[in-house]
Amino acid sequence: MVPMPVSETNPSKPSARLARTVAVTSGKGGVGKTFFSANLATALSRQGLKVLVLDADLGLANLDVVLNLYPKITLHDVFTGKAQLEEAILPAPGGFHVLLAGSGLVEYSRLTPEVREKLLEIFEAVKPRFDVILIDTGAGISDVVLYAVSMAGEVVVVATPEPTSMTDAYATIKVLCAQQSREKMHLVVNQVARPGDGRTICQQLQQVVDRFVVSPTGVVPKLQFLGDIPFDPSVREAVRKRQLLLELHPGSPAALGVNQVAVRLLGRA
């Protein structure tokens, strides 16, 4: 169940609940994962939830670019003790909050014990303060990505209909099942040509998973289809203007698709 919204508006003060934690990941870059995460956070916020997006793409972060933010304080400053966590939690245009990672920091490109410890410490500290935390991971199956995913209770895999994207999505699902015993994962298919294509792709991917993937406990993982998002020129315009699609073109087909995903994620469809 999703926690009920809290009345507290200051994200630096804890609530009595722990957030629902969702990792948004992808097998390859360029599928619109971060753009989707930001707009999904907007849609969830409009459902009355207190939402945080944690940018876990350490070293190659671009959530700040998507949101047109110029942060003076990032996770790097919290990691190094130069700033307090509360100073790094920033309001975003869509009515949610963000914890932004630094870009171009090679020291965070691999999972050292220090990175592991500090990321988990920060994650545990923010969990009581929000209703939903979206962890926007990097792409692929690096140690940093897999560790970021491991912190979340749920996983959303974002893919496109391109064969390379589907192959990499399958690889991600296989690794998450083998290493984390994930038995359920959500799937969102972005940039579909026709309504319903995403569900067909999910079914095809499930058939491959049924044949070749099994968890250490002997369970075949199940893909839960959250929705598809149509190819939409409005997305390119929003990216170019560094604005949220749900604010720039709230009635566009892609925006409606993101809203539908949010509703299904909350179990309100």
* Three-state SS sequence of 80-145: CCCCCHHHHEEECCCCCEEECCCECCHHHCCCCHHHHHHHHHHHHHHHHHCCEEEEEEEECCCHHH
pLDDT of residue 83: 94
**Is the pLDDT confidence value at 12 over 50?**
no
Q: What percent of the chain has pLDDT over 70?
A: 90
Range of the domain at 109: 20-265
Structure tokens at 150: 């491991």
Section 51-80 average pLDDT: 90
Q: Is 258 helix (H, G, I), strand (E, B) or coil?
A: helix
Do β-strands 184-192 and 132-139 pair in parallel, antiparallel, or remain unpaired? unpaired
Whether 38 is covered by a domain: the verdict is: yes
Structure tokens at 201: 């792709």
Whether 8 is covered by a domain: the verdict is: no
Which residue from 109, 2, 5 is spatially nearest to 57, judged by alpha carbons?
Answer: 109
pLDDT band of residue 2 (cuts 50, 70, 90) is: very low
Please give the tally of structural domains in the chain.
1
* Sequence-ordered list of residues with C-beta below 8 angstroms from that of 242, at least 6 positions apart, any chain: 65, 66, 67, 68
**Is the pLDDT confidence value at 7 over 60?**
no
Looking at residue 36, what DSSP letter applies? H
pLDDT of residue 15: 45
pLDDT of residue 80: 86
Whether 53 is covered by a domain: the verdict is: yes
Whether 4 is covered by a domain: the verdict is: no
pLDDT of residue 104: 55
Looking at residue 168, what DSSP letter applies? H
pLDDT band of residue 109 (cuts 50, 70, 90) is: low
Whether 66 is covered by a domain: the verdict is: yes
Phi first, then psi, for residue 71 (nearest 5°) are -70, 140
Question: How high is the mean pLDDT of the chain?
Answer: 90
- CATH code for the domain of 80: 3.40.50.300
List C-alpha distances in Å: 148 to 43, 46, 158, 208, 225.
23, 26, 16, 26, 22
Whether 198 is covered by a domain: the verdict is: yes
Whether 6 is covered by a domain: the verdict is: no
d(CA 181, CA 64) in angstroms, rounded, equals: 32
Using the structure block, give the residue that is written with the tokens 């009635």. 251
Q: What angle do CA 162, 165, 170 make, to 5 degrees?
A: 125
